Amino acid sequence: EAGVVQSPRYKIIEKKQPVAFWCNPISGHNTLYWYLQNLGQGPELLIRYENEEAVDDSQLPKDRFSAERLKGVDSTLKIQPAELGDSAVYLCASSLGPTGELFFGEGSRLTVL
Amino acid sequence: GENVEQHPSTLSVQEGDSAVIKCTYSDSASNYFPWYKQELGKGPQLIIDIRSNVGEKKDQRIAVTLNKTAKHFSLHITETQPEDSAVYFCAASRAGSSNTGKLIFGQGTTLQVKP
């Protein structure tokens, strides 16, 4: 069975440009997470979805970040405009439910020049 | 809010030796403590977890111990192998009956196992 799929794996953009990351969770996993991982640090939760509902987005910088999971399956995380400090790995994870084990994708590495 | 401190930041051992990574947490209400292994270019993978109603859990060569009074928990890897080389993260959360809670991760430990 396929794991959590993320794209693109790598993205290089100039500051002030927009960027979007896509995540397809494991089939049947209702809970989806977006994490930010800065170099040499542990992941930090940005947003958690239960089906199509964002149940925890307290850590999402809403002035420039947005996320959606319209049909309760795949999800998109957008940054507009990107800043130098946004350079990091953006990890998507999914779980069978809110109590289940988290399965992470390989991440999308963003470099902002 | 919860804060998780992890030590050491790097650890180098000889193949066959044991490795111990320690974490402390600040929120006494935290009750779920998973450990993740992250290989280069990959996402973190759960290797073992423990809940606050037990003091120790073992799975083959890895074990986790929890001291709720001192608010610290540790990962023990015995008979280390080169393929154990990776970054290890501890995490803590207040898990309810209906969710695992918001995981707060430590800063990570880079383990190198020398052949």
Q: Percent of chain B, pLDDT > 70? A: 97
pLDDT band at residue B22 using 50, 70 and 90 as cut-offs? very high
Are residues A38 and A88 in contact, defined by beta-carbon separation less than 8 angstroms?
Answer: yes
Three-state secondary structure of chain B: CCCEEEECCEEEEECCCCEEEEEEECCCCCCEEEEEEECCCCCCEEEEEEECCCCEEEECCEEEEEECCCCEEEEEECCCCHHHCEEEEEEEECCECCECCCCEECCCEEEEEEC
Which residue, chain included where needed, has tokens 């992470």?
A104
Which residues of chain A make contact with B45, given a CB cutoff of 8 A? 104
CA–CA gap between residue A55 and residue B96 (Å, rounded): 15
Using DSSP, state whether A61 is helix, strand or coil.
coil
Tell me what percent of the residues of chain A surpass a pLDDT of 70.
99
Q: Tell me, what's the pLDDT at B106?
A: 96
Q: What is the mean pLDDT of chain A?
A: 94
CA atoms within 13 A on the CB side of A73: 5
Q: Report whether pLDDT(B96) > 90.
A: no
pLDDT score of B97: 63
In the structure, what pLDDT confidence band is assigned to residue A45 with cuts at 50, 70 and 90?
Answer: very high
Chain B (89-108) residues lying within 8 Å, Cβ to Cβ, of chain A: 89, 91, 95, 97-100, 102-103, 105-108
CA gap A89, B41 in Å, rounded: 10
Do residues B96 and A100 lie in contact, with contact meaning Cβ atoms separated by under 8 Å?
no
E strands present in A40-80: 44-50, 53-56, 65-68, 75-79
Tokens (6 digits) for B59: 């799975």
Closest residue by Cα to residue B77 from B92, B88, B91, B93: B88
pLDDT grade, residue B72 (50/70/90)? very high
User: Mean pLDDT over residues A70-86, rounded?
Assistant: 94
Q: Do B98 and A104 touch (CB under 8 A)?
A: no
Give the closest of B45, B97, B107 to A104, CB-based: B45
| Chain-chain contact of A43 with B89 (C-beta, under 8 angstroms) | yes
Q: Which residue of A has its CA nearest to B106?
A: A42
Residues 6+ apart with CB under 8 A from A85: A112
